[in-house]
Amino acid sequence: TASAQYNMHFQAKSKCIIINNENFSPQTGMNRRKGTDRDAMQLQVCFLSLGFQVESYKDLTCKQMVENLKKASSEDHGTRACFVCAILSHGEEGVLYGTDGTLPVSILADIFSEKHCPSLAGKPKLFFIQACRGSMFDEGVDQVDGLRRSDDTDSRGYSKPPVEPDFLYAFSTVPGYYSWRNEEKGSWFIQSLCEELLRNSSQLELVKILVCVNRRVATQYVSCSRDITYNDKKQIPCIMSMLTREFYFK
């Protein structure tokens, strides 16, 4: 029924913010995230085609990440249906990396809580996060050899996001685990996400699309690295949904 679905019929385009952190200060000890520009480009193409107003940012410090998201949350979203934020960076459990250090995931989402962003109250707020959530590997089982070139991880090891209704978090991996990125093709998660959104957004509900993403990443990819420690590893994304209605893009 109509009441079981979020209302997407608003006059203004919803906003999608992409934060793409590739280069990090030496004191963080974090490597350059080669291949991340491919992810950012795919996300931009994807959400523009879905009718969003897209803003992309590159290599933001922690302070700049917070400032840009606060600026977005202070806007009047009254004529917009939803809000999307994609963050591509290094991470550990409970935190994401700005170019100069770490930031709790909870801070980012709290900026868009009903208290701080009333014009998005009752509307879906979607966060897509490509980053490690720890330092464990998923040994997986032998599946098709999805990527044959060098695969990299997005970590060295998030506080919990606020539990408020109408938020959805799609993490590239489950808590405690590495997340893989191919230096030429982009990350397994973001590339799969964009392909599934473009293919299914006109007919499938969002959570069903994300299940397709999970299946694709879990079954079609295995890491290929010259370092045996990092070779032949698997990944499974993680959906954390507090949505209270079905979400259809169209």
Closest CA to 141 of 73, 221, 77: 221
Q: What is the pLDDT at residue 59?
A: 98
Is it the case that residue 133 has pLDDT exceeding 80? no
Does the predicted TM-score (pTM) go above 0.75? Answer: yes
Which has the higher per-residue pLDDT, 32 or 60?
60
Is it the case that residue 75 has pLDDT exceeding 90? yes
| Separation of alpha carbons 220 and 235, rounded Å | 10
**Residue 163, C-beta contacts closer than 8 angstroms, at least 6 positions apart:** 242
Q: What is the pLDDT at residue 175?
A: 62
Q: Please state, for a pLDDT cut of 70, what percent of the chain lies above it.
A: 79
Task: Out of 62, 82, 85, 90, pick the active-site residue.
Answer: 90
Instruction: Report, as an integer, the average pLDDT of 116-139.
Output: 81
Q: Which segments within the chain are labelled E, that is strand?
A: 15-20, 53-58, 83-88, 91-92, 95-98, 101-104, 125-130, 151-153, 167-171, 180-182, 186-187, 238-241
Residue at 97: amino acid letter: Y
Structural domains of the chain in order of their starting residue, each with its CATH number: 2-241 (3.40.50.1460)
Is it the case that residue 134 has pLDDT exceeding 50? yes
Q: Which of 58-67, 71-80, 144-153 has the lowest average pLDDT?
A: 144-153
**CB-hemisphere CA count at 13 Å for 30?**
28
Burial of 121 (0-12, 13-18, 19+ CB in 10 A): middle
Q: State both tokens at 43.
A: 């996300």
| Separation of alpha carbons 20 and 30, rounded Å | 15
Q: What is the pLDDT at residue 149?
A: 40
Q: State both tokens at 47.
A: 């959400």
Q: What is the pLDDT at residue 182?
A: 75
Q: Which residues of 197-229 are buried (b: 16+ CB within 10 A; e: fewer)?
A: beebbeebbbeebbebbbebbbeebbbbbeeee
132 carries an active-site annotation? yes
90 carries an active-site annotation? yes
Confidence of residue 135 (pLDDT cuts 50, 70, 90): low
* Span 140-188, pLDDT tens digits: 332 222 333 445 555 543 445 557 899 999 988 766 556 667 777 888 8
Task: Out of 62, 132, 212, 224, pick the active-site residue.
Answer: 132
Mean pLDDT of the chain: 85
* Span 191-215, pLDDT tens digits: 999 999 999 999 999 999 999 999 9
Instruction: Report, as an integer, the average pLDDT of 44-62.
Output: 98
